[in-house]
Amino acid sequence: MPQEEGRKDSVTILVPCYNEEEVLPALFARLDLLIASELDEGRESSVSYTLLFVDDGSKDGTQELIREFAQGREDVSYVFLSRNFGKEKAMFAGIEATHTDGLVIIDADLQDPPELIPEMIALWRQGYDDVYARRRSRKGESWLKKTTSRMYYSLLQKITSVPIQRDTGDFRLLDRKCVEALRELRESERNSKALFSWIGFRKIEFLYDRDARAAGKTKWNYCKLMQLALDGVTSFTVAPLRAVTYCGAVVSVGAIVYALYIFLRTLIFGADIPGYASLLVVMLVLGGIELLGLGVIGEYLGRIFVQVKGRPNYLVQEEHHVMRTKDHR
């Protein structure tokens, strides 16, 4: 078991929110219960919680609800982004805005039960830096979604060298070390799963039952998930580029062998006309492989393009931060 180190007294609970007005009241209540239970116990080892809501450009009443909730409280901060930047950027905005010893990332829709946070803190205090929650079950998700996700991750694991945590989302507790490391990774096309894996540190998994969404609708559809999947591959590994190279090599060798065969056949048996069908097939196959290769290169080139523009990851419309003496050392 790892050795204990560093201070572990303050924790920020980061909640990215996008159009979550339906679920926010329930979330506020559950988070307040959590904070209250910590105060009740009044133990020497208790933690002080700060709630940090990052609104990702919601178009419903989310911002008003958060503003109202934060009113007069000294443990609620918020950051409102200037538009919808996506959950990844919203989380990054939160990561950049925390100063506590630990950071818990949790979804607004109560799919990740806040009541588990004390258990995560206990593991963190045993010396782990990244306590990530692994889903034992996934309620309210279709069979198709579960199967495709399983296939995708086993494929991804095969082509990458970084160990990938299965069945984990962003629900986790990160030590200050990890938060600082994540802040250093300034890539603009962020894929948290890849980043959490990449930074390493002492990780421990923690099984939980993922609940169904408490209210409201999921922001994902298959098109977005497909994009996320592609993004996952391109941010974890350059293996597809290599695959295209191998593919090209195999096809070229095949073509040389075939050319030699045709050459010798013509020398020995003379020229003959037939061969349109085989010619067409070969052309189509090669054309397909070429286009695929171009697509793969384009995919990486696009990422480079986005990165070299060097734009900020997100823009802030409005923010409010609590300054607690305990958190700022």
- Name the site residues for ligand UDP (rule: CB under 6 A): 16-18, 20, 56, 84, 86-87, 90, 107-109, 111, 213, 218-220
Q: Is residue 112 within the footprint of Mg ion (CB under 5 A)? A: no
Q: How far is the CB of 130 from Mg ion (least distance, A)?
A: 21
Rank residues 101 and 109 by Cβ distance to ligand UDP and give the closer one. Answer: 109
Q: What does the CA dihedral 98, 102, 106, 112 come to, rounded to 10 degrees?
A: -170
Backbone angles phi, psi at 199, to 5 degrees: -65, -25
206 forms beta bridges with 133
Q: How far is the CB of 111 from Mg ion (least distance, A)?
A: 4
Q: Is residue 77 within the footprint of Mg ion (CB under 5 A)? A: no
- CA-to-CA separations, 231 to 54, 86, 221, 234, 235, in angstroms, rounded: 23, 13, 15, 5, 6
Q: How far is the CB of 191 from ligand UDP (least distance, A)?
A: 14
> Which among 46, 57, 60, 169 has a CA at the least distance from the CA of 107?
169
Q: Is residue 19 within the footprint of Mg ion (CB under 5 A)? A: no
20 binds, among Mg ion, ligand UDP, none (CB under 5 to 8 A by kind): ligand UDP
Rank residues 111 and 197 by Cβ distance to Mg ion and give the closer one. Answer: 111
Q: How far is the CB of 211 from ligand UDP (least distance, A)?
A: 10
Stretch that binds Mg ion, among 39-47, 108-116, 173-181, 222-230 (CB under 5 A): 108-116
Q: How far is the CB of 96 from ligand UDP (least distance, A)?
A: 15
Rank residues 86 and 114 by Cβ distance to ligand UDP and give the closer one. Answer: 86
Contact 72, 320 (CB under 8 A): no
Q: Is residue 75 within the footprint of Mg ion (CB under 5 A)? A: no
86 binds, among ligand UDP, Mg ion, none (CB under 5 to 8 A by kind): ligand UDP
> Which among 135, 210, 130 has a CA at the least distance from the CA of 174?
130
Q: How far is the CB of 116 from Mg ion (least distance, A)?
A: 16
- With tokens 């894996």, the residue in question is 197
**What helix, strand, coil percent values describe the chain, rounded to 5?**
50, 15, 35
Backbone angles phi, psi at 127, to 5 degrees: 120, 5
Instruction: Indicate which single residue of 12, 58, 62, 111 sits in contact with Mg ion (rule: CB under 5 A).
Output: 111
Q: Please state the separation of Cα 133 from the chain's center in Å.
A: 14
Q: Note the residues at the interface with Mg ion (CB under 5 A).
A: 107, 109, 111
